[in-house]
Amino acid sequence: MSVFLSIWLFALGALATVRAQNNALSFNFDQSSEAMSHFSNRERTRFPMFAEGSIYHVIVVDQSGHGHFRKLQHAIDSVPRDNHKWIKIQVRAGIYSEKVEIPIDKPYISLVGDGRHNTVIQWSDGGGSATPDYATFSVSADNFVARRITFKNIFYPPTISQAPAVSLYGDKVAFYDCGFIGVQDTLTDLLGRHLFEGCYIEGYIDFIWGYGQSVYHGCTINVTSGPYNDRIYGAGYITAQGRENIEDSNGFVFKYCTVVGTAFAYLGRPYQRYSRVVFYKSYLSDIIVPSGWNPGFVAGHGGSVAHAEVDCVGPGSDTSQRVKWGRNLKPNELNLLLNTNTFINQDNWVENQPLPTRRMAPKLLTLRTSTTTKKIRRQRQRIPSSRSFPYAHPGKG
Ligand SMILES: *[C@@H]1O[C@H](CO)[C@@H](O)[C@H](O)[C@H]1NC(C)=O
């Protein structure tokens, strides 16, 4: 038996209790069986195993005072600057009323809650045009992963306003079994490569928007305006993707997702001219408006937009009345987008995170900077920091 394997088996033993507590092996997709019976479990579950061997240190956050900290932000503040070993912050059940930021110099944090219905981080902020700044939870650092936790923005002024639950600036950021709850701009998926797996995303206007390069795998998307539900509004917008140049590598890809809701919605309205969005093998309920896509912010420039629906099912998946513009994805580009490894996981960062992984043994962390990371960093320089966001944001629906 190799030394490496023995160390790993030892780690497995030590983690047995944690594994049992977290029930991590029953990977929980939050979808109605009706919707998802179209696809096999094997197809939907990409990372069925669980490995946590590369965790270096654990910090416990507990509101009742039985952990290291009562506030999540205090736990984050305790992580050393320029951290380079995975640190797990476990957040016990409770509603944490906090606005939280993972600053750029605190990479390699793994945040784990007690289930998305039990551990909730919420705050109320929004309204003006500095959209990303209002987020309840923002990630500026690279290499972050969260699991089993909900982020919520409860800013509910008389009219619907921009109020994100999260703003993501970091590269190599993943969320598993998490919830994102808001009305407008809920998931401000700004920049970097991101994976969302088995997550629940709720909102009404542009509620998955930004310049992110992201795969949404097996997520439930609920179009609903929360406390505004009893008012009469037009159709909402699920996505507002912001790819600006034909060379930019970003876009949103939805695979095996379930789209439901209490309001009608467009699959998206492009936020920039080269906006790229794909829905693949997803269930679309009857809330999707027949034309599918709204010209949004690029009216008259739909010629460069690229959106696609591939093998979707459900009453909202009928494409016979879809708009004619925006069908610019070439087959090779579509293949690149649909393969998670070529689109976001070029340097195997997904497997290197201390989370569900296809391998039994964790791979040792490699800290080299890939060309993709460099490219994303250059792109990020156009959007300098969470405190100075130069872009005007989509207005109200
Ligand atoms: C979507 O939101 C509505 C309104 O809040 C709620 O009744 C419904 O259960 C949600 N759907 C899912 C799948 O969670």
From 28, 202, 222, 223, mutation site for ligand 1 pocket: most ligand atoms within 8 A of C-beta: 222
Distance, CA 246 to ligand 1 centroid (Å)?
37
User: Which residues span the domain enclosing 332?
Assistant: 28-349
Question: Residue 340 carries which DSSP code?
Answer: H
The tally of domains found in the chain comes to 1
Residue 200 alpha carbon, nearest atom of ligand 1:
14
Question: Does a structural domain hold residue 97?
Answer: yes
Distance, CA 239 to ligand 1 centroid (Å)?
19
Residue owning the nearest CA to atom 7 of ligand 1: 262
For residue 301 the two structure tokens come to 């420039």
* Ligand 1 proximity of 220 Cβ (cutoff 6 Å): yes
* Ligand 1 proximity of 150 Cβ (cutoff 6 Å): no
Question: Cα(351)–Cα(372) distance, rounded to whole angstroms?
Answer: 17
pTM here is: 0.81
Contact assessment for residue 121 and residue 98, using Cβ atoms and an 8 Å cutoff: yes
Question: Does a structural domain hold residue 395?
Answer: no
* Ligand 1 proximity of 31 Cβ (cutoff 6 Å): no
Residue 220 alpha carbon, nearest atom of ligand 1:
13
Q: What is the band of 128 on the pLDDT scale with cuts at 50, 70, 90?
A: confident
Task: Give the CA distances from residue 104 to residues 77, 79, 80, 367, in Å, rounded to whole numbers and listed in that order.
Answer: 12, 12, 12, 16
Residue 21 has pLDDT above 50, yes or no: no
Question: Does a structural domain hold residue 138?
Answer: yes
Question: Does a structural domain hold residue 393?
Answer: no
Task: Please state, rounded to an integer, the average pLDDT across all residues of the chain.
Answer: 82
The better pLDDT of the pair 388, 275 is held by 275
From 178, 262, 264, 283, mutation site for ligand 1 pocket: most ligand atoms within 8 A of C-beta: 262
Residue owning the nearest CA to atom 14 of ligand 1: 222
For residue 83 the two structure tokens come to 């951290």
Distance, CA 270 to ligand 1 centroid (Å)?
26
Question: Does a structural domain hold residue 362?
Answer: no
Distance, CA 351 to ligand 1 centroid (Å)?
32
Distance, CA 226 to ligand 1 centroid (Å)?
9
- For 142-186, write each residue's pLDDT tens digit: 999 999 999 999 999 999 999 999 999 999 999 999 999 999 999
Burial class (CB in 10 A: 0-12, 13-18, 19+), 204: buried
Residue 191 has pLDDT above 80, yes or no: yes
Question: Does a structural domain hold residue 375?
Answer: no
Q: What is the band of 395 on the pLDDT scale with cuts at 50, 70, 90?
A: very low
Strand partners, 184: 162, 205
* Ligand 1 proximity of 225 Cβ (cutoff 6 Å): no
Name, in order, each residue with C-beta under 8 angstroms of 346's C-beta and a sequence gap of 6 or more. 370, 372
Q: What is the band of 34 on the pLDDT scale with cuts at 50, 70, 90?
A: very low
Q: What is the CATH number of the domain that holds 340?
A: 2.160.20.10
Question: Does a structural domain hold residue 269?
Answer: yes
Residue 222 alpha carbon, nearest atom of ligand 1:
1
Question: Does a structural domain hold residue 374?
Answer: no
Residue 31 has pLDDT above 70, yes or no: no
Catalytic residue list: 185, 206
From 200, 223, 224, mutation site for ligand 1 pocket: most ligand atoms within 8 A of C-beta: 224
Distance, CA 261 to ligand 1 centroid (Å)?
7
